[in-house]
Amino acid sequence: MKKEGGSACLNIMTKIGLLSRYGIIILTLGMIALCLDYAHGADWKLYAENQDFYFYYDMDKPDPLKLIADIFRKKIVTVWTKRVSKDERGRNYQIYTNKKLGLSVKGYENYEYTIFLKEINCSNKMSRLLSEADYTKDGNLLAKSESPYAEWKPIVPESDEEVLQKAVCVINTVNE
């Protein structure tokens, strides 16, 4: 007889030794959280700020079966982050940075925020930037770039990136 849905998943996880003593509780809580949050759009959470910008993150909504497996092993987390200009200083900083890198500044007088797609290796405390896109106050795209093969870089202690790593790798901390 073929097992259906969740029981088949639990059976497989038990066979490969991933189900810990608290696995069923974590699994249940994870599935409830997924079901409650899955239908909503981006849920930006503030994780840091400096004098020019606010920094937010929003976790990708992964495949539920992948999430279950990832809970029981150390993993790489994919996360969207958003850097929002606080005022004119943040806007000027972005314009300065673009000029320094030889990038266009056309339309950047209306710059408001940048969205980044990052991966964080929770086990090794490394991160990499996969893509970024700059937007105006009205949500119009100014520029975007992608680097799907970006190299991994260590997360600097006491940095905004470390605050993000601690926020999104909280599930892994329970299992270490």
d(CA 19, CA 11) in angstroms, rounded, equals 9
Domain boundaries, the chain: 45-169
> What angle, 0 to 180 degrees and rounded to 10, lies between the N-to-C axes of helices 23-37 and 64-71?
150
Instruction: Specify the pLDDT at position 62.
Output: 56
CB count within 10 Å of CB 164 equals 23
Instruction: Specify the pLDDT at position 20.
Output: 46
Instruction: Specify the pLDDT at position 41.
Output: 58
Instruction: Specify the pLDDT at position 21.
Output: 43
Burial class of 95 by CB neighbour count within 10 A (0 to 12, 13 to 18, 19+): middle
CA 148 from centroid of its chain's CA atoms: 15
Instruction: Specify the pLDDT at position 145.
Output: 94
CATH number (2.40.128, 3.80.30, 2.60.40, 1.10.8) of 45-169 reads 2.40.128
pLDDT tens-place values along the chain, 176 residues long? 444 444 444 444 444 444 444 444 554 445 444 444 443 457 888 888 888 888 888 866 656 666 556 555 558 889 999 999 999 999 999 999 999 999 999 999 999 999 999 999 988 899 999 999 999 999 999 999 999 889 999 999 999 999 999 988 875 444 44
Instruction: Specify the pLDDT at position 171.
Output: 52
Query: Residue 115 in contact with residue 81, Cβ under 8 Å?
Result: yes
CA 167 from centroid of its chain's CA atoms: 9
Classify 128 as helix, strand or coil. strand
